[in-house]
Structure 1
């Protein structure tokens, strides 16, 4: 089994600019508070059921608050044939790297 790498928020911002898709695996209340524009919200407990919704021709970048759920999500996606990596760091790191956020 190939373990997907963890990438920094700065690398994630760069990859999104080149077509990668962020998959946010946080819970609904976390997503409602603030999220990355253009990200797909797929809570970890729904991820396997939602795999058919994801493009198979783009890099998927998994994200959560602390990195544990998103690491598991990246592993799950790789095991199901997707090209996926895990973004380490929080939304603070994403914003610090120049990424935008959407707040409700």
Structure 2
């Protein structure tokens, strides 16, 4: 993934808003590494590590909002930009897992 994906601020939402949007049908795209996913993840999230995102993004639904997610929000910001450039409606969940947990979002250990 190019450095340019990290230089722009993608559309961003809070974890509280993400919890609400997921309940309405949005899809969480978890771009963390395998070991992070195995430790804890959001139920129903699509696991697509950042290094595989460009090669696999066509597997994602084109008719639903995609919410990119990582531990702190940096990797997922680049992922949201990449998805938008590839024609998806995507936003970054700022502060990632940290705020998701604080917003009461469900987690699977």
TM-score normalised by L of structure 2: 0.88
Secondary structure, counterpart of 1:73 in structure 2: helix
Task: Please point out which of 67, 91, 103 is paired with 1:85.
Answer: 91
| Residues 83-92 or 44-53, more deviating | 83-92
Task: Please point out which of 39, 43, 47 is paired with 2:49.
Answer: 43
Instruction: Say if 2:9 and 2:77, in contact at 8 Å, map to a contact too.
Output: no
Q: Deviations along 1:13-72, whole A, 9 cap, x unmatched?
A: 000000000000000000000000000000000001111110000000000112111000
Count how many residue pairs are aligned between Structure 1 and Structure 2.
Answer: 102
Higher strand share: 1
Task: Please point out which of 29, 33, 49 is paired with 1:23.
Answer: 29
Deviation at 1:95, TM superposition (A): 2.2
Runs of 4+ with deviation above 6 angstroms? none
Task: Please point out which of 36, 54, 58 is paired with 1:52.
Answer: 58
**Residue 96 in 1 paired to residue 102 in 2?**
yes
Q: Which runs of 5+ in 1 are unaligned?
A: none
